[in-house]
Chains A and B, each alone.
Chain A
Amino acid sequence: DIQMTQSPSSLSASVGDRVTITCRASQSIRNYLSWYQQKPGKVPKLLIYGASSLHSGVPSRFSGSASGTDFTLTISSLQPEDFATYYCQQSNSLPYTFGQGTKLEIK
């Protein structure tokens, strides 16, 4: 199975900060990488698909990029509503796997 390793596991930041979360795949997944946001008590929301494509309705401050087996989610200027847990997920090969999550907290 493909392992997805996210870093960091948790992160403290302030409103207005630029934040980067990384996800590393244990083998090539091409660009079959999605990012999800989950707020406490809420269902996950799709942010990014295909490593770098923004899902409909997602603010443009969110972006994704890829370099080999390393994938990055960037929030250009943190807003109060962005404090949440973020997950990456590979869909290149079954079984699909999620990263362990990155909890983004207010500093």
Chain B
Amino acid sequence: EVQLVESGGGLVQPGRSLRLSCAASGFTFDDYAMHWVRQSPGKGLEWVSGINWNSGDIGYADSVKGRFTISRDNAKKSLYLQMNSLRVEDTALYYCVKDVSGSLIRHYGMDVWGQGTTVTVSS
């Protein structure tokens, strides 16, 4: 069974850091690009960041650029999101998402979503 399991969320004060992890199973992890997508309570989906199969292409939403860093470890079948200088507006459910291809650039959809991990930024 194809599965993505996120971890690392929690309650954190503004300005602090948090690192999210995503453990993949049931597919050949290093064949696919991966993404982080977030959803604030009661709001829509926001693409946060993506990384291609070999970490050669990486992209970020403007709202997180310079503060968040995406990475992957293909040997560990894991995806990460290092979140620094967190803001209240970063509060959301963060999904780890599998791409349908290995390419980040001009892809054709994201087909497997984890259940998400909740990040709450509050003083």
B47 engages A95 (CB within 8 Å): yes
Cβ contacts under 8 Å, B107 to chain A: 32, 91
How many interface residues does chain B have, given as a range?
Answer: 20 to 34
Q: Contact: A50 with B47, CB < 8 Å?
A: no
Instruction: Give the docked Cα–Cα distance between A38 and B110 (Å).
Output: 13
| Of the residues A32, A44, A93, contact of B108 by C-beta under 8 Å | A32
Does A98 contact B46, Cβ atoms closer than 8 Å?
yes
Closest to A38 in B: B45
Asked if A101 and B106 sit within 8 Å, CB to CB, the answer is no
> By the criterion CB–CB under 8 Å, are A43 and B116 in contact?
yes
- In whole angstroms, how far apart are the Cα atoms of A53 and B47 in the complex? 21
Residues of A within 8 A of B109 (CB): 34, 46, 49-50, 55, 89, 91
Kindly report which residue of chain B lies nearest to residue A29, judged by CB atoms: B106
Q: How large is the interface on A (under 10, 10 to 19, 20 to 34, 35 or more residues)?
A: 20 to 34
Other-chain residue from A55, A85, A91, A95 in contact with B106 (beta carbon distance below 8 A): A91
Which of chain A's residues have a CB closer than 8 A to the CB of B61? Answer: 95
Complexed CA–CA distance, A50 and B44 (Å): 21
B35 CB contacts on chain A under 8 angstroms:
96
Cross-chain contact A95 with B116 (CB below 8 angstroms): no
- A27 an interface residue at 8 Å Cβ cutoff? no
A98 to B106, CA, bound (A): 14
CA–CA, A93 to B109, complex, Å? 13
- The complex places the Cα of A85 from the Cα of B39 at a distance, in Å, of 13
Q: Are A46 and B45 in contact (CB under 8 A)?
A: no
* Measured CA separation A87–B113 after assembly (Å): 15
Please state if B59 and A43 are interface contacts (CB–CB under 8 Å). Answer: no
Q: Which residues of A contact B (CB under 8 A)?
A: 1, 30, 32, 34, 36, 38, 43-46, 49-50, 53, 55, 85, 87, 89, 91-101
Give 7 nearest A-B pairs by CB, closest first: A49-B109, A94-B59, A43-B113, A34-B109, A96-B47, A49-B108, A101-B44
Q: Could you list 13 examples of A-B contacts with CB < 8 Å?
A: A34-B108, A38-B45, A43-B114, A44-B113, A46-B100, A46-B110, A50-B109, A89-B47, A94-B105, A95-B59, A95-B61, A96-B35, A96-B50
